[in-house]
Amino acid sequence: MSLRYVRDALDPMYEQFRHMDHCNEDYELYCQTVPMKWEYKRKRPYKKDVRTEHRRVYLHFYYNIEKAAEDEKKLDRKLLQWRKELENNQRQPAHETKYNTNTTLKSP
């Protein structure tokens, strides 16, 4: 399965995912399960063909607000560091690909 599969399943429910109906009190996160069909291909060497079937799969989505906030702060710190490197003309070779990414930061 690809990330596209996951995105297609997440998009319709994204706006309502952080609703109290999906809140798990024990784990302090939001969770939701989405049933979907998966196209399964099986090679049959004895018949020398490929059989395609649809299988039922379940995608489980989890969202932890605290982890998301931590991740966002971590990304912000990196972006600020890279901006300072560029503004002070102290480019780091290891960060060259990051400098070329089109990301806009607002000035404080």
How far apart are alpha carbons 60 and 57 in whole angstroms?
A: 10
Over the chain (108 residues), what is each successive 10-residue block's mean pLDDT? 78 87 92 90 91 91 93 94 91 86 57
How far apart are alpha carbons 47 and 26 in whole angstroms?
A: 51
* H-only helix segments in the chain: 3-10, 65-87, 96-99
Q: Which two tokens stand for residue 70?
A: 């931590």
pLDDT at residue 13 in the model = 86
What is the reported pTM? 0.62
Q: Which two tokens stand for residue 73?
A: 């702060």
pLDDT at residue 97 in the model = 85
